[in-house]
Amino acid sequence: MKILISLCLFFNLTFALPFNAIHSTMEQNIHKSLQILQTSQESTEAIAQKIFAIFDDIFDWELMAKLSLSQSYNTLSLDEQKLFNQVFENNVKKNFTDKLRLYKNQTFEVLEGTLVQPNRYHLKTSIIIDGKVNYIIFKFYPKEQENWKIYDADVLGISIIQTYRSQFADILKRYDFATLMQKLQSEITLDIK
């Protein structure tokens, strides 16, 4: 039993992102991602998988899914929540993969972090697209004391979560949850057909 608890603590600490390491870790991860993008001869999907491996432990995919579905999330069964979490994550990743070629020759820079509330930290990054500086803000919260995770990102001034929330609310006004899931799953598999 003690060994099991020790292993759990070890893995929790291994994947934790301490508050004072957010800036440097994100800077390193973005640099690694750009190197992969600029030097890899692999397929876009393979490149995306390597980038996801770098960032997956920093994103709280479950919370992002829950926030995107808003109050409707709590009406789902546990099995539906698990399925939605996975489909949501896959959908976000597919959207990222589809846009990956746009970032290949861009310049990213981690600019500054701001503690906007005691439990909310925004890390501002810049990307130059077509000669114009644009911003991406990664929004962090402490999942477990010093284990900070990303719960949202503003990409070019638009919140990923708010965008999904708005789209999902529109679909759920007219259709049921099964239809929403069907639409999300068809978007994920569209390129595979």
pLDDT digit string, tens, across residues 2-49: 333 333 333 333 455 899 999 999 999 999 999 998 898 999 899 999
Asked whether residue 169 is assigned to any structural domain, the reply reads yes
Give the pLDDT means over successive 10-residue stretches in the chain (193 positions).
34 64 95 91 92 94 97 96 96 88 81 96 91 93 90 93 96 95 81 40
| Range of the structural domain that residue 65 is part of | 19-187
- Is 19 exposed, middle or buried, given 0-12, 13-18 or 19+ CB atoms closer than 10 A? middle
Among 126, 130, 131, CA closest to 156: 126
Rounded Cα distance between 187 and 72, Å, is 21
CATH number, domain at 79? 3.10.450.710
Q: What is the domain count for the chain?
A: 1
Asked whether residue 33 is assigned to any structural domain, the reply reads yes
Asked whether residue 53 is assigned to any structural domain, the reply reads yes
Asked whether residue 8 is assigned to any structural domain, the reply reads no
Asked whether residue 173 is assigned to any structural domain, the reply reads yes
Return phi, psi of residue 16, to 5°. -75, 150
CB 154 within 8 A of CB 137: yes
Asked whether residue 69 is assigned to any structural domain, the reply reads yes
- Is 105 exposed, middle or buried, given 0-12, 13-18 or 19+ CB atoms closer than 10 A? exposed
Q: What is the pTM of this model?
A: 0.85
Asked whether residue 151 is assigned to any structural domain, the reply reads yes
Q: What is the dihedral of CA 144, 53, 117, 113, to 10 degrees?
A: 140
